[in-house]
Structure 1
Amino acid sequence: MADPALSFVIERTGDLLIQKIVFLKDVRRQVERLRNDLVRMRCFLKDADQRQDEEERIRHWVSEIRDAAYDAEDIIEIFASKVEFIKDKGLVTKLTYYPLKFVNLYKIGKEIKSLRMRLKEIADSREEYGIKNLGEGTTTHGEELQRLRRSSPFNEDKDIVGFEEITKSLVAELLKEDRNRRVVSIIGMGGAGKTTLAKKGYNHADVRERFNCRAWVCVSSIYNHKETLRTIIKQLNPITNELLDMLEKMQEQDLEQRLYQDLEDKCYLVVLDDVWKEEAWDCLARAFPDVNTSSRLLLTSRNRDVAQHADALSKPHELKTLGQEDSWQLFLRKALAHGDNAGCPSDLEEVGREIARRCAGLPLAITVIGGLLLAKKKLKSEWEKVLNSFNTNLSKSQSGVSAILELSYADLPANLKFCFLYLGLFPEDFVISVRKLIHMWVAEGIIQNRDAKNLEETAAYDDVERLCSRNMVQVAEMTVDERIKSCRVHDLLRELAIRKADDENFFQIHDTRDDKISAKSRYLAVHVLPWDENYLGSSTPPLRSLLFFNVHGYMENISLNLKSFGKLRTLDLENVQIPYNLPKEIGEVRLLRYLCLRYTSIARLPRSFGCLRNLQTLDMRTRATVVVLNFIWKLESLRHLYAYDIRLDIYNIRWNESLKIEGLKNLKTLSRVNFDDIMHNNMITLTSLQKLGIWVDDMSEIDKLCMHLSEVGSLKTLQLYFDGSSQQPTLGGLSKLHHVTELKLSGVDLRMLPPDFPPNLSRLSLKFRHSTDDPMPVLEKLRQLSFLKMEFEFEGPEHMVISRHGFHQLKFLQVGRLNHLDEIKVEKGALPQLLCMRIRDCGRLRKLPEELKHISTLDMLELVDMPKDSISRLAADMAFSVPNLRIFDS
């Protein structure tokens, strides 16, 4: 498909015809003709795809079709939203607006007629470009992709080969007896494995033992001195609100001084990953003390001059490309998921070795092409197709890596191409929340035509996995149950996405303060705020998405003239400094589906907010309580409502009125609302509700709450937040919640275990203030429990005992902040399915249970925020018993 954006817009137009049939019945025939015109135009796009890289006029031809398709979708949705708005009004208002309906019908008919004329002119011009009709429809990608073994920031890539000797050299350099502060450097081209090698050195047992203070920061090409300093300081200190507020207010010189003081008496190791410019090093160098503590800085860069500038006496470790045999072994691991010394099917070896040779020894290139092949049938003909396409792409590009990346992009189905291009909106090295990304993709309508509504988010997550399995996207963090929690895009692949998006006029990125909005922008990402604070109101581009990133350090407010953005679907204002109240014009953005106000100072939503009938995700986790009028129940498309504290405006409601939420049939997530608001709503009407978070206190009758929720059959996750009351709340009635499989209880005064639990509970998270009793005898009887996480504030038991009958289904166990815990005993036969155990901030714990060594399933032990002497002792005790030992410093 020549244009993935165009492909999904055409399909979206067809979906809208089905959805809006009631409102479009008087102009339906015209709309159907318009869509048929677009579908016919798509027949020529495959031929255009093969030639648009060569001919500017063909790219322009595709661009004209795309603009017409976008305009068609906008016309249908805007008209339908106006009719829906009238439909919900009272009789008098309907009579008032009735003549307007005919005006709108006439207007949409006229606009469609004009669009069809445009498409006819575009179609007539195709013969001038020599574009052939290749037949209707597009090829589909029917094969399910296999998941590759993926790495994360916390795990080294076990598939990397050829690094053994250079790793030894790197570690020796870091441990060299030299009291002076030295800079150890790794250099190499993008994708050569610099970060992977640095991670091997950083996590090496001898290195962890040597340095009592470690930190890791990615500098990248767009260098922000303040943010880099803040990132390091946060890793060296306990995170508190006071620290965060202080760091936000500090100037550069103050931040440098604070970091210097934090490191002054330490033997520290700080990794500066991906340093592009000598100026970046010069800014940072003065913050790192050189006071005869044998400290080290580990620097990675693509530029040898940067490394030599940082330390002229230190010879950089240069990552060369892999040799022929190492390339072949890595290729086998990635393309066939083989381990060490595994062979290749004889009929594939010749073509496979040729593909590996064309990768020129670059690990990233081999990894990406291997991911592509892993998804294909293991047939010689399939591999030959890749090799032939590989040659074509090589002839188009000066860079072999670029050719490989272009090939992988070309192999993506149309919907995955769109998803991949969308990731280019995020800043370099940005860690992307998968949950947030999925909400955005669904809001954009990318997934809509492929599954029923209730499966859209599942399909979106599958797309994230597909992109990861092809190594087009990197896994940043996994959950305990092996789901992708966050991801990032390698900078070379991000460059590819930006280049492709630029070719297709897909989006615009503002990364300098002088950027202006293009009149044709439909997707805009703001990475740097412009000098003109009113620039968002200075033009009226047809924006569909407006996203802000990394602008929280700016003190000036930004003015939003929302009347200019009537076609907006996605608005992400996270961390943006905007006025106290959201502008009332927000109600005019009626196509809006995703709105994020997280970490803003917005404390009130206007009455017009109730007009946002298409809104699917609302994130109100702001810095203050959000005051609203009683309009949430009107947001009929709402799926996810996130809040820290939401309150009704007491000056504009009736006495004793509660927040109304009943009737929201699409709502899946509701967090966090007050106990009284839940009790005053008929929760059975929330037929899709899966996750619910509630604020409770010592006056809340939990038994009645559980009875109230017992009939909500879709509810799977319940979170109860205790607001710091002085008495222990009554926690009876949880056994009534047969549908709940995940329970989270947290609050500073939760002092004892509930008398009962949901009978089908599989996941449990507890956060206590005081508990002198061992909770294990009660918890180990929860027969279906597979995940248990416990944290105790201030006090906790001194001993814990897991009996031989305990936790037969448990796969993950975390105990944290147990400052009084001396010993954990595990009897023989306990925890037979345990995969991972995490111990966090348990300073008095001297020894781990001997029985852990005999649990054959135990794959990982994590020690988090533990004293250095405890880490050394516990790690030495378990080093030869657990395959993976992970240590995280505070």
Structure 2
Amino acid sequence: MGPSKRREIRSPSTSLVTEDHIYGREEVRGAVLQLLVSEKHSDASNKVPNVIPIVGMGGIGKTTLAQLVYNDKKVENFFSLKAWACVSEDFDVTVVTKTILQSLTPENCDGKDLNWLQEKLKEKLRGKRFLVILDDVWNKNYHDWTLLRAPFEVGAPRSSIIVTTRDQKVSSLMRNKEVDPFQLEELSDEACLPIFTRHALDARDFSAHPYLKDIGEEIVSRCKGLPLAVKTIGGVLRSKHEDRNEWEKVLKNKIWDISVEESGIPSSLMVSYDNLPSHLKRCFAYCSILPKDYEFEEKEVVLLWMAEGLIHHPEEEMEDLGFEYFHDLLSRSFFQKSRINESKFVMHDLINDLAQSVAGDTCYRMEDRIGSSQDEDIPIKPRHSSYLGSEYDVTKKFEVFSKFTSSLRTFLPLMLPYPGCCYLARHVPFELVPTLRCLRALSFNGYRITELPNSIGDLKHLRYLNLSHTRIRLLPESVASLYNLQTLLLKYCFHLKKLPSMLCNLVNLLCLNIECADSLEGMPMQIGKLTCLQTLSNLVLGKDSSCSGIKELGPLKHLRETLCISRLENVIESKDAKDAKLIEKTKIDVLSLEWSRDIDESKDTTSELEVLNGLRPHNALTKLVIINYGGTKFPNWLTSPSFPHMVSLRLENCYNCTSLPPLGQYLPSLKNLWIKGMANVKSVGSEFCGGNLETLHFHDMEEWENWSPCEEFPNLHQLSLRKCPKLLGKLPNNLPLLNEVEIIDCAQLVVSLSCFPDKCKFNIKNCRGLCMEGVVFGSKVTFKSIFFYRSLSPISDEGLDMEGLERLTINSCEELKTLWSDKVGSLPHHLPCLHNLNIYSCPKLVSLVAEEVDQESLQLRITSIDIKDCIALESLPKVLMYNNMCLGYICIRNCDSLTHFARSHLPPTLKELYIGDCRSMRKLVEDDDNDTNNNSTTASSSGIKSLLLEDLSVQYCPSLESLTSSGELPATLQRLFIMDCPKLESVAKSFHHNSFLTNITIHSCENLQFLNGIHNLTSLRDLKIIDCPSILSFPKEGFPTNLTTLKISNLKITEALFDWGLDNLTYLNQLEIGGCQNLVSFPEITLPASLTSLYISKFSNLECLSSEGLRKLTSLQTLHIYDCEKLTCFPEDGLPPSLLELHISSCQKLRSFLKNGLPPSLQQLEIRECPLLLEPCKKDQRGEWRRIADIPYVQISYKCE
């Protein structure tokens, strides 16, 4: 496949940058920074968010510029939140949104839909000033961009998004008109020279190498101003040992004369490859199977090189030599370090194109996730192949691999969207893979497969088998006959219980990784025979006599890197621990010694000490972890000066120990110390810590009372104290380098902020009823957030300076009646930086501002208010509702005394309003009793229509009769959600002025009768009406014709389905209809051919599905059938061939599927509470099981869950 025909996708970028200088871009970097943080440019940043494009060709330095700006100290101090997302050509709003959200919160986002992700992102960004980098954007679809952008609009003013792209059209689409894009041109030769000398000579210029200057300048000139090319050719010349003759050979290489148009690759990169030694050329070409958006680990690539036989040397370990090869390519810039994950690497897109070009037909990379494209350039006999996995991979995707049975050596799924939660057709492991008899490397990493066929043992050439992140329970015994196997990866196989009993036969095994295979009951017998083993992530000690004991470690002399020994309680003879000979294993860097968590009071604590004494490691150890140790004291080897290189120590749940060892005396290099769950430790003294300590964590110390720390921690950067409820001692005073403090759930601890140095960030929660988050600037403390729990007394008691406060939360202050008053202990009247106000569970709070306070004197710029469980609250003050020109978001829940939300009109800048569980609320907007204008309704109507409100949600308000007195909705309204408002009779008199409305959901409003004028909503895309029994008919004008989603369920509509006019909805994608009692066959009417999803439920008389009606739905991908109790079978002519998902529930009489089987495209099949289908669909039955066995995801259960 020629490089000119391939799409170019940027290798995944990250937020961190390894360059400390950006050559030739100082001026543009300064301009971008000015636009971001300078007050001079605040007018250009009025829009939220402000979008700043950086445009230029591939390899020109766009990402490097964005990284340097992102990590600039001014930016760090200016923005509350920062996030980075590599977008690339395979644009997916859900994936990008998830990436951004996960960089801001630790919350697990796997499997969540776009709506959930965007709501969570809005919560995180609301009212905060943020910077987001969207790197390498290719998408030109305006709808995708507006959809992605939506959550960012809730941020504080001056929030920004930087977009890097190669395409001016993308820049024009995304940017604000007020901001011109920054166009990066090729660098001058003068600017390129320092890049070249840095990579070629590790110098700033040629002053120490004048004899190379003329050649170097000419080589730089040939790179045509492309920084990536300059770096790469410089890296190659670095290995030429400053030999002028070698440099001249590079300069005179004829490849320089090949144009980009001919090869698709810059000639400078081709020259760099041409000058690699042959062994590196082979290794680099193999990397062409790595997709362009793939971050890879060093060892991952080296193990694959080993499997292919690319590493040979009679005197060196293969793995060591592989690491050497890898670092050679890294030093030449063929690989780049990932800056967000220190253990991973990437290839730039141009370098990836180069790899594909030189690999030619030996490698095949399937970049179409669904395998639907017909690529004319598929090689005839490729040796190595990778493909982009999808959530559901069906048989059809793999048809091309059946042509490779005599040649294929590598079968590698990569970049699965949800590792561990993706599904694979049974056909692939059970039928396809056994035919690939030449395989050397095989992976099912990330698929939820539960078993492998015995025929896996017939792949006699196999050297690499990766089953990580699968649901494998047992490996076939035949795996033990794969005598050439070097690598067996079983990471995160949580369900794996047992390894093959004859695993000891794999005498060539070098790597066995069972990290986090927590269900494993033990290791098979004679594991000590695997004498070539270098990597053993975990030795699991089983109870059974058929399991290997700890002394089987003795013969494994080559173990290296990380070793965990778990379930040490199963060591019967303490002398066996010494026979493990850990002290002789000099290449082990990290050692973890673990007992099980269950505390057995009858444990022999002396025996556990003897076991731990026998497990003394070599003194070159750098990290030690001891977990759930039951002895009363630590071994002698930990309290002696035996580990001069140890930098990290973790002691966790050593519950019988009453004191900590004097680590400061014996571990001089210790930098990271983690102490957790030491339940019997009451005191910690000064002998405990050393002067080189950089991070210190104390967690779950239930009885700890006194801390007498040493005078100073000169190198401490991070301090964390969590759940130390009895701790009374003082914190250290001299912490000059401290930059992050976390103190949580230390109820007795008094924290003095004065001991924290300049620019130290702190997060303090539940310490004497106070929670604070902020940063120290010189002698001043700036609070980012404060959380008051039960009382506001810390305001006066602690003398808090709250002027810079951005986020305020008040929770469970039971006696609080008002926030702002003239009394001592009230909130300050001057809070100019306060953006977010949250008030929860204050049952006596009547008003936020006391009557005696002059509201004009309050200086507030609040953008977001959230009030919940304040049952006495009667109204919101004018200073927040009407005089505040910043308020954009209000959420009020369970405030039973509120009869209305606002008087006369809503806050003028309000964009989002959410009301829920306000039982006394009759109207959202109440007429002002003091309004003397006789036409108050008209005035109110005019005011309503001129608002900026975009989102309105009202739920569980049983007294609500109308939304507004005028019957009008704001003209800017985009989304309307109303649920469980039984007295509401009308949403609006008409929708004439609501041309922006895109989504309407009305649910469980018993008295709602009319939706007049709904056909006028030309922008409406999503309409859902559910459980509204008083709606008996639809407007005669019909539904808006631009609808893409329509859900009508449980209404008492008297009109026949034929009269609904559904055939006119030519843009409709999703249709859900429920409760049609009279239909015997469906669909008898013509449904829109554009439908991709169809959901029918509670069709109580439905007997059959219409073949003709379904056959016309050529785009249908998802079909749900629920509670159709008389349905007996599917149509004889089959379901649409486009179908991907079929969900059937509560169809009691449904007996069978189609005679010809289900569509081969089907990815998901769910059957619930269909008893007549249950038995035929059981696994290994000859009936229906044969028709569904190859569907990647099948879920069958009798009861609905």
**Larger deviation, residues 791-800 vs 349-358:** 791-800
What's the TM-score once normalised by structure 2's chain length?
A: 0.52
Give the counterpart of 1:490 among 328, 344, 348. Answer: 348
Query: Could you tell me whether the CA contact under 8 Å between 1:724 and 1:749 is conserved in 2?
Result: no
Please report how far the alpha carbon of residue 350 of structure 1 lies from its aligned counterpart in structure 2 after TM superposition.
Answer: 2.1
Query: Could you tell me whether the CA contact under 8 Å between 2:657 and 2:681 is conserved in 1?
Result: yes
CA distance in structure 1 between the partners assigned to 2:645 and 2:700 by the alignment:
27
Give the counterpart of 1:255 among 99, 113, 117. Answer: 117
Structure number with greater Rg is 2
Deviations 1:315-366 (A, max 9, x none): 1122222234222233222222113x66353332222222222222222122
Please report how far the alpha carbon of residue 827 of structure 1 lies from its aligned counterpart in structure 2 after TM superposition.
Answer: 6.1
CA distance in structure 2 between the partners assigned to 1:217 and 1:461 by the alignment:
29
Q: Of the two structures, which has the highest relative contact order with CA contacts closer than 8 Å and spacing of 6 or more? A: 1
**Larger deviation, residues 747-756 vs 409-418:** 747-756
CA distance in structure 2 between the partners assigned to 1:571 and 1:416 by the alignment:
23
- Whether 1:628 and 2:499 are equivalent positions in the alignment is yes
Give the counterpart of 2:372 among 514, 517, 522. Answer: 514
CA distance in structure 1 between the partners assigned to 2:402 and 2:255 by the alignment:
47
- Matching residue's letter, 1:766: R
Please report how far the alpha carbon of residue 766 of structure 1 lies from its aligned counterpart in structure 2 after TM superposition.
Answer: 0.7
Unmatched 5+ stretches in structure 2: 4-12, 724-729, 739-757, 765-770, 781-1201
1:856-867 alignment, distance < 5 Å: none
Give the counterpart of 1:524 among 362, 378, 385. Answer: 385
Deviations 1:795-829 (A, max 9, x none): 9999987779946xx6x84334659999996668x
CA distance in structure 2 between the partners assigned to 1:817 and 1:152 by the alignment:
32
CA 1:542–1:228 in 2, change beyond 3 Å: closer, same or farther? same
CA distance in structure 2 between the partners assigned to 1:799 and 1:359 by the alignment:
65
Please report how far the alpha carbon of residue 286 of structure 1 lies from its aligned counterpart in structure 2 after TM superposition.
Answer: 2.6
Give the counterpart of 2:283 among 386, 406, 419. Answer: 419
- Whether 1:721 and 2:589 are equivalent positions in the alignment is no
* Other-structure match for 1:557: 424
* Other-structure match for 2:194: 329
- Whether 1:782 and 2:666 are equivalent positions in the alignment is yes
SS in 2 for 1:694: strand
* Other-structure match for 1:186: 54
Please report how far the alpha carbon of residue 586 of structure 1 lies from its aligned counterpart in structure 2 after TM superposition.
Answer: 0.9
* Other-structure match for 1:839: 718
* Other-structure match for 2:558: 688
CA 1:555–1:442 in 2, change beyond 3 Å: closer, same or farther? closer
CA 1:658–1:397 in 2, change beyond 3 Å: closer, same or farther? closer
**Larger deviation, residues 310-319 vs 554-563:** 554-563
* Other-structure match for 2:1051: none
* Other-structure match for 1:873: 776
1:582-593 alignment, distance < 5 Å: 582-593=452-463
CA 1:491–1:303 in 2, change beyond 3 Å: closer, same or farther? same
1:358-369 alignment, distance < 5 Å: 358-369=222-233
- Matching residue's letter, 1:745: V
1:274-673 alignment, distance < 5 Å: 274-279=136-141, 281-313=145-177, 314-339=179-204, 343=207, 345-389=209-253, 392-395=256-259, 402-448=266-312, 450-452=313-315, 455-476=317-338, 485-502=343-360, 504-512=361-369, 513-514=371-372, 519-529=380-390, 531-533=394-396, 535=398, 538-539=402-403, 540-553=405-418, 555-558=422-425, 559-560=428-429, 561=431, 562-578=433-449, 580-621=450-491, 622-644=493-515, 659-673=525-539
1:72-91 alignment, distance < 5 Å: none
* Other-structure match for 1:29: none
- Matching residue's letter, 2:634: P
* Other-structure match for 1:762: 645
Query: Could you tell me whether the CA contact under 8 Å between 1:159 and 1:330 is conserved in 2?
Result: no
Please report how far the alpha carbon of residue 779 of structure 1 lies from its aligned counterpart in structure 2 after TM superposition.
Answer: 1.6
Give the counterpart of 1:814 among 695, 702, 710. Answer: 695
Deviations 1:693-747 (A, max 9, x none): 2212656569545323137733634322343223697344545435363353254
Query: Could you tell me whether the CA contact under 8 Å between 2:582 and 2:617 is conserved in 1?
Result: no
Higher strand share: 2
**Larger deviation, residues 489-498 vs 421-430:** 421-430
SS in 2 for 1:627: coil
* Other-structure match for 2:549: 679
CA distance in structure 2 between the partners assigned to 1:216 and 1:478 by the alignment:
10
1:739-754 alignment, distance < 5 Å: 739=618, 741-742=620-621, 743-747=623-627, 754=634
Please report how far the alpha carbon of residue 219 of structure 1 lies from its aligned counterpart in structure 2 after TM superposition.
Answer: 0.9
CA distance in structure 2 between the partners assigned to 1:234 and 1:697 by the alignment:
36
What's the TM-score once normalised by structure 1's chain length?
A: 0.69
CA distance in structure 1 between the partners assigned to 2:254 and 2:485 by the alignment:
44
* Other-structure match for 1:132: none
CA 1:694–1:220 in 2, change beyond 3 Å: closer, same or farther? same
Give the counterpart of 1:210 among 74, 78, 81. Answer: 78
Query: Could you tell me whether the CA contact under 8 Å between 1:605 and 1:626 is conserved in 2?
Result: no
Query: Could you tell me whether the CA contact under 8 Å between 2:699 and 2:721 is conserved in 1?
Result: yes
Query: Could you tell me whether the CA contact under 8 Å between 1:788 and 1:813 is conserved in 2?
Result: yes
SS in 2 for 1:415: helix
* Other-structure match for 1:168: 30
Query: Could you tell me whether the CA contact under 8 Å between 1:518 and 1:541 is conserved in 2?
Result: no
- Matching residue's letter, 1:694: I
Higher helix share: 1
CA distance in structure 1 between the partners assigned to 2:422 and 2:197 by the alignment:
52
Query: Could you tell me whether the CA contact under 8 Å between 1:665 and 1:687 is conserved in 2?
Result: yes
Please report how far the alpha carbon of residue 287 of structure 1 lies from its aligned counterpart in structure 2 after TM superposition.
Answer: 3.6
CA 1:433–1:649 in 2, change beyond 3 Å: closer, same or farther? closer
Please report how far the alpha carbon of residue 489 of structure 1 lies from its aligned counterpart in structure 2 after TM superposition.
Answer: 0.6
1:115-130 alignment, distance < 5 Å: none
**Larger deviation, residues 675-684 vs 751-760:** 751-760
* Other-structure match for 2:90: 222
CA distance in structure 2 between the partners assigned to 1:625 and 1:158 by the alignment:
46
Deviations 1:230-257 (A, max 9, x none): 2222222225xxx2xxx33222333333
* Other-structure match for 1:13: none
- Matching residue's letter, 1:471: S
CA distance in structure 2 between the partners assigned to 1:775 and 1:432 by the alignment:
43
CA distance in structure 2 between the partners assigned to 1:270 and 1:545 by the alignment:
38
* Other-structure match for 2:1038: none
Unmatched 5+ stretches in structure 1: 1-51, 54-150, 651-655, 854-860, 878-890
Equivalences, count: 694
SS in 1 for 2:98: helix
CA distance in structure 2 between the partners assigned to 1:703 and 1:712 by the alignment:
16
SS in 2 for 1:633: helix
- Matching residue's letter, 1:686: L
CA distance in structure 1 between the partners assigned to 2:680 and 2:232 by the alignment:
49
CA distance in structure 2 between the partners assigned to 1:657 and 1:424 by the alignment:
37
CA distance in structure 1 between the partners assigned to 2:531 and 2:344 by the alignment:
29
Query: Could you tell me whether the CA contact under 8 Å between 2:709 and 2:732 is conserved in 1?
Result: no
SS in 2 for 1:574: coil
Query: Could you tell me whether the CA contact under 8 Å between 1:519 and 1:541 is conserved in 2?
Result: no
CA 1:753–1:393 in 2, change beyond 3 Å: closer, same or farther? farther
Please report how far the alpha carbon of residue 309 of structure 1 lies from its aligned counterpart in structure 2 after TM superposition.
Answer: 0.8
CA distance in structure 2 between the partners assigned to 1:599 and 1:373 by the alignment:
41
SS in 1 for 2:344: strand
CA distance in structure 1 between the partners assigned to 2:255 and 2:402 by the alignment:
47
